């Protein structure tokens, strides 16, 4: 969503007035990037009264906090629109690193460790061999899901996720096969694995 912020505050703070002489002048707009990986667009030279559009994007693992001018927070949006005053301006684009958390996924036979940021969506699917039945996903005493596939939002903490299974062998049948002679008096019996 685009945020339109007219920096009349700048104009009133500095009590500037536009005159015919300032129409040909250009003023420098600088952007200081603070707090991490930020890519900004829009710095340059502008005429007084010109509408300026600034954009900021953060790198992976960072969250954009907003635009500031002289310690005053203007907007948390990545896009800022304002009217250029007849003076040089320095705006700050601020970001913050998002902490990385460790998720240990334990199947009972092996463990997998992944790293994710708080708020990331992780999809887990337990697959199992014939003869086993999936019971649940849990973390400690907390039951997360009784379905083999689940969507999980990473909380701001390290976690251990346990996939639980039970052995579900059907009763193994060893049929008794008896071979007898024609008169049914003699024969042998033997169990066969099917």
The domain spans of the chain are 3-97, 100-167
Q: Which helix (H) or strand (E) holds 13?
A: helix 8-14
Residue 146: its pLDDT value, please?
Answer: 93
- State the Cα–Cα distance between residues 26 and 164, nearest whole angstrom: 67
Burial class (CB in 10 A: 0-12, 13-18, 19+), 171: exposed
- State the Cα–Cα distance between residues 89 and 27, nearest whole angstrom: 8
Q: Provide the terminal-to-terminal Cα distance of the chain, rounded to the nearest Å.
A: 66
Tokens of 67: 């635009």
Answer for the pair 62, 96: CB distance below 8 angstroms, yes or no. Answer: yes
Residue 177: its pLDDT value, please?
Answer: 41
Residue 169: its pLDDT value, please?
Answer: 55
Instruction: Look at the block and give the residue holding tokens 């969250």.
Output: 63
Residue 117: its pLDDT value, please?
Answer: 85
- pLDDT tens profile 134-174: 889 999 999 999 998 888 888 999 999 898 888 775 544 44
Answer for the pair 37, 24: CB distance below 8 angstroms, yes or no. Answer: no
Residue 80: its pLDDT value, please?
Answer: 93
- pLDDT tens profile 30-59: 999 998 888 899 999 999 999 999 999 998
pTM: 0.52
Q: Look up the CATH architecture of domain 100-167.
A: Sandwich (2.60)
Residue 181 has pLDDT above 80, yes or no: no
How are beta strands 27-34 and 89-97 bridged, if at all?
parallel
Answer for the pair 34, 95: CB distance below 8 angstroms, yes or no. Answer: yes
- pLDDT tens profile 2-22: 433 434 333 333 444 444 444
Residue 23: its pLDDT value, please?
Answer: 57
């Amino acid at each position: 969503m685009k945020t339109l912020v007219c920096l009349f505050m700048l104009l009133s703070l500095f009590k500037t007035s536009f005159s015919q002489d300032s129409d040909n002048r250009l003023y420098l707009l600088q952007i200081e990037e603070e707090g991490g990986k930020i890519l900004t667009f829009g710095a340059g030279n502008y005429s007084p009264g010109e509408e300026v559009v600034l954009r900021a994007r953060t790198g992976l693992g960072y969250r954009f906090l907003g635009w500031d001018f002289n310690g005053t927070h203007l907007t948390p949006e990545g896009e800022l629109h304002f009217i250029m005053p007849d003076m040089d301006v320095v705006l700050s684009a601020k970001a913050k690193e998002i902490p990385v958390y460790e998720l240990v996924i334990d199947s009972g036979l092996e463990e997998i460790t992944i790293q994710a940021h708080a708020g990331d969506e992780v999809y887990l699917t337990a697959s199992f061999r014939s003869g086993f039945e999936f019971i649940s996903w849990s973390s400690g005493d907390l039951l997360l899901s009784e379905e083999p596939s689940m969507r999980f939002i990473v909380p701001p903490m390290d976690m251990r996720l346990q996939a639980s299974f039970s052995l579900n062998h059907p009763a193994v049948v060893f049929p008794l096969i008896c071979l007898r002679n024609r008169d049914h008096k003699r024969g042998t019996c033997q169990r066969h694995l099917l």
